[in-house]
Amino acid sequence: MTDMNKEAISVLNDLIETSKDGQAGFKTCAEDIKHPELKNLFIKRSADCGVAAEQLQSAVRSMGGDPQTSTSVSGDLHRRWIDVKSMLTGKGEESVLNEAERGEDHALKAYRDAMEKINKHNLVGIRDLVERQYHGVQRNHDQVKALRNQARAR
């Protein structure tokens, strides 16, 4: 396996963890929220993150690597923090949206870091996939932020 393949697999495995974190995080948000439209949105976003992880895993396998299959420790800790915070402050719409936005901030950073590594190491074989997913993460972030701002204004 070439050094470029190893670097590409490393980048993709980091993003698999991020996608798995998003999948679990949106699932937690869906479980915590009462509003039916938001619940459906979070269920859809969770499924979208699952598809993203599968695409990344497939790319890793195609390069001869072993894809990541689990969430990150930091993502697990964030979800535990959400659970504790929800017990103390309630599971209001704005609170759940705040935590969803915080998760999307993390995902955006992970994808920006991945794009920097891709450009630095000229990993052209994975650029299109990662860039396409980055734009999806940006849309998720913007939508969650807009919904949070609406909830805050009510």
Q: pLDDT (tens digit, 9 = 90+) per residue, 93-136?
A: 888 888 889 889 999 999 999 999 999 999 989 999 999 999 99
Q: Can you tell me which residue has the tokens 């998760």?
A: 103
- Tens of pLDDT, residue by residue over 64-100, are 999 988 766 555 555 555 555 555 455 688 888 888 8
What is the CB-side half-sphere exposure of residue 109 using CA atoms within 13 A?
6
- Cβ–Cβ < 8 Å for 21, 72: yes
Q: Compute the CA torsion angle 119, 1, 132, 136 (nearest 10 deg).
A: -100
pTM value is: 0.87
Tokens of 122: 């000229």
Lookup: tokens for 53: 């992880």
Place of tokens 């937690």: 28
Which residue type occupies 60? V
Domains annotated on the chain, with CATH: 3-153 (1.20.1260.10)
